[in-house]
Structure 1
Amino acid sequence: MTQIFVSIPTNDLERAKAFYTALGAPINPQYTDENAACFAWDDNVFLMVLARDFFATFTEKQITDPKVAVQTSINFTRESRDEVDAIVERGLANGGTEPRPAEDLGFMYSRDLEDPDGNNLGFLYATLQE
């Protein structure tokens, strides 16, 4: 079994905790302390939000400011268009911003959401035909 842990920096860990729990991602206390919070999206997908100074201890490279540069976009599927809209609306109500309008391609509906630090999240619903 493979598990995915994606790590992103934050300038305010408590604000990040409030934002991500408002999106419906529960905190996994096993990987959470004063430097980081682990959000369990499901049994195999985890988002690690690390205090910027702590995040920097894992690399010699410069940590970009997600408000001005995109390093990565983290995308999550949802079960319906309504679930996409609901999670983005919860994010907007808790300090997030929507950097561009929703995109409806017929077979796929998506919306982007930036967390309060500027990290880019995408939520999408797709009906793939075989």
Structure 2
Amino acid sequence: MGLQAKMTFVNLPVKDLNKSIDFFSKIGFEFNPQYTDKNATCMIINDNTFVMLLVESFFQTFTKKELSDAIKTTEVIMALSAQSREQVDEIVNKALEAGGKASNDRFDHGFMYGWSFQDMDGHLWEVMYMDQSGGEAV
């Protein structure tokens, strides 16, 4: 068996850390205060997956590459699984109410249902529910 990381940390640059924390808190995410300061916070996705929200100037210290403007370009789409179709709608609606922007329209393939939004910095987030009871892939 190949490499299996025990934990996953995704790093995203943000313009205003406090606004980002407020936005994601309204959706229902929690943060680890041990890894939170004026430059960064650790948003908890689950027990083994985390998103580090890093102020752009701090993020820049980790790379020699120019930062992309997520409002204009896309480098990654964060995809999260939900426990039900209703939870998909609940998460995206909370994101929109908190100031996020609509991304793609809802999709429904029977066994898979999803919807997406853009956060305050234009990063794309897709939320989907997959019926594990034996639906067939498209």
Alignment TM class, shorter chain as reference = over 0.9
Query: TM-score by structure 1 length?
Result: 0.96
Alpha-carbon distance between aligned partners in 2 of 1:64 and 1:123, rounded to the nearest angstrom = 23
Look up the match of 2:65. 61
Look up the match of 2:117. 113
Look up the match of 2:27. 23
Alignment deviations for residues 4-48 of structure 1 (CA, whole Å, 9 cap, x no partner): 110101111111000111111101111111001111111111011
| 1:120 partner letter | L
| 2:32 partner letter | N
Alpha-carbon distance between aligned partners in 2 of 1:27 and 1:121, rounded to the nearest angstrom = 18
- Does residue 71 (structure 1) correspond to residue 75 (structure 2)? The answer is yes
Look up the match of 1:83. 87
Alpha-carbon distance between aligned partners in 1 of 2:124 and 2:81, rounded to the nearest angstrom = 15
Post-superposition shift, 1:105? 0.8
Query: TM-score by structure 2 length?
Result: 0.91
Post-superposition shift, 1:100? 1.7
Q: Tell me how large the CA RMSD over aligned residues is.
A: 1.1
- Does residue 47 (structure 1) correspond to residue 68 (structure 2)? The answer is no
| 2:85 partner letter | R
Q: Hey, which bits of structure 1, 4+ residues long, moved more than 3 A?
A: none
Alpha-carbon distance between aligned partners in 2 of 1:122 and 1:31, rounded to the nearest angstrom = 25
Q: Which runs of 5+ in 1 are unaligned?
A: none
Look up the match of 1:13. 17
- Does residue 125 (structure 1) correspond to residue 103 (structure 2)? The answer is no
- Secondary structure of residue in 2 paired with 1:6: strand
Alignment deviations for residues 34-79 of structure 1 (CA, whole Å, 9 cap, x no partner): 0011111111110111101000000001110000000101110000
| 2:114 partner letter | S
Query: Structure 1 vs Structure 2: percent identity of aligned residues?
Result: 35
